[in-house]
Amino acid sequence: MSQSTGRATESNGNGQVTRAPTLSVTVLNYNYGRYLVGCLDSILRQTFEDFELVIIDDRSPDNSLEVIRPYLKDPRVRLVAHTKNVGYGGSLVEGTSECSRGEFVMVISADDLVLRPDAFERQIAALRKTPNAAFCFSGYNSFHDDGKLVEHQRSYEGDRVLDGAEFFRDYATRQAVQVLHTGTMLRKSKYFLAGGYRRDLNICLDFAMWLMLCQEGEVAYIDDELYGYRTHPGQMSQSLKKAHANVKECLSAVEVACDRAQQKGLPVAELRDEAIQYILFAIAIADAFNDRSKLALARSASALLLQPRLTLMAPGLRVVLARLALGGVRYQRALSWVRARTGASSARP
């Protein structure tokens, strides 16, 4: 077992150096011992077996290390057990940029699941089929801590390969396109071209990554729920304390990505204002529609502080305020009335 705050040793269970695998999977864990068995079992039962599994434990105070130890008998599994807590961003960069040796890399949160045993196989096939594809994502299911399904999330109808500029436009401006960090498979060469995960961010590193990575190639999508995303109160995205930081980081991600697109002469730089308006309220809208009113209001207030002009012009602000003011039933009635009068299919931006 490796005890480190930095790079893991490149070795198997016998202490011998092994060849680089096709895929490197990083599992990020902090205090999720109660979820680890489900997560690790779902990874190790994959039909595609040429992968390494790097578990980064960020000095968990629970029984995580006890849960992990039996899995180290599998020569594909390595553990980096931090002797001090370095945080989510540090662990993420360590796992992907320093410890991963594969041609492809992915991150799976310790509280999430791989739902289908052929998930890795299908994603690698999609990336092999399109050599210029920078990454491959899929649909997913979100579920409560008790296992109850919340929703099926699919971004497009049917498997497809999107031009990078097309994906940027959809992802930066449309609520319907969602990329789950868990399970999104990256071509490592493209990952480094995009600059890797930003070390100045702590929360929305994945959002920033997709906006940069799609500028380096095409994007493959598999229209099936390959992964499961667990929602529970302990997540960063549902922390009232971190709501302002989240909005600020997402705003920075959009601005930096649009600057990069302008430098590369890509046709998406013109989307800056629209993308900023979208991201200022994308999470706030989700909070409002999931009865997290305090979070929705906190994010809306942050948007107003950070971008007052674009916030007041944003359709998302009207959606959030209407949903919070009317509640679920009356909002749906009002929405039905608007649709009948205008022929609109949705009141979300």
Higher pLDDT, residue 255 or 15: 255
32-56 tens-digit pLDDT:
999 999 999 999 999 999 999 999 9
113-114 and 2-3 as β-strands: parallel, antiparallel, unpaired?
unpaired
The full DSSP string for 318-329 is: HHHHHHHHHHHH
Do 248 and 223 sit in the same domain of this protein? no
Which of 19, 16, 4, 31 is CA-nearest to residue 94?
Answer: 4
Mean pLDDT of 107-127: 98
Q: How far apart are CA 263 and CA 300, in angstroms?
A: 31
Q: Looking at the domain assignment, is residue 347 inside a domain?
A: no
The verdict on 283 and 188 lying in the same domain is no
Domain contains 237: no
Given the structure tokens 């092999």, which residue do they identify? 128
The answer on 248 and 313 residing in a single domain is yes
Q: Provide the CATH number for the domain around residue 224.
A: 3.90.550.10
Q: Do 92 and 174 fall into the same domain?
A: yes
Q: What average pLDDT does the structure give for the chain?
A: 90
Evaluate whether residue 348 is within a structural domain: no
Which sign does the torsion angle of CA 249, 153, 317, 343 carry?
A: positive
How far, in Å, are 17, 59, 109, 141 from residue 33 at the CA level? 29, 12, 12, 22
Residue 175 and residue 128 share a domain: yes
Task: Judge whether residue 239 has pLDDT over 70.
Answer: no
For residue 182, give the DSSP letter.
B
Task: Quote the pLDDT of residue 2.
Answer: 41
Same domain flag for 165 and 20:
yes
What is the pLDDT, as a whole number, of residue 283? 87
- The answer to the question of residue 349 being in a domain is no
Determine the pLDDT at residue 128: 98
The predicted pLDDT at position 150 comes to 80
Domain boundary at 232, 266, 294, which? 232
Q: CB of 194 within 8 A of CB of 151? A: no
Based on the fold, state whether residues 257 and 158 are members of the same structural domain: no
Domain of residue 301: give its range.
Answer: 243-342
Do 36 and 68 touch, CB atoms closer than 8 A?
yes
Pair (44, 162) in one structural domain: yes
Q: Mean pLDDT over residues 232-240, rounded?
A: 60
Whether 185 maps to a domain, the answer reads yes
Contact 257, 248 (CB under 8 A): no
Return the minimum-mean-pLDDT range out of 71-75, 105-109, 226-230, 232-236: 232-236
Q: Do both 182 and 52 map to the same domain?
A: yes
pLDDT at 248 over 60: yes
Query: Which of 206, 232, 258 is the C-terminal boundary of a domain?
Result: 232
- 204 and 255 fall within a common domain: no
CB distance 302 to 331 below 8 Å: no
| Predicted confidence band of residue 10 (pLDDT cuts 50, 70, 90) | very low
Is 55 inside any structural domain? yes
Which of these three, 198, 232, 266, is where a domain ends? 232
Q: Which of 227, 215, 144 is closest to 184 using CA atoms? A: 227
Check whether residue 286 and residue 197 sit in a common domain: no
pLDDT above 70: residue 196: yes
- Please check whether residues 214 and 327 belong to one and the same domain: no
Give me the pLDDT at residue 291, please. Answer: 87
Task: Please tell me the total count of domains within the chain.
Answer: 2
Among 52-56, 207-211, 249-253, 280-284, the range scoring the smallest mean pLDDT is 280-284
Q: Is the pLDDT of residue 290 over 90?
A: no
Q: Is the pTM of this model over 0.85?
A: yes
User: 340 or 18, which is more confident?
Assistant: 340
What's the pLDDT band for 25 if we cut at 50, 70, 90? very high
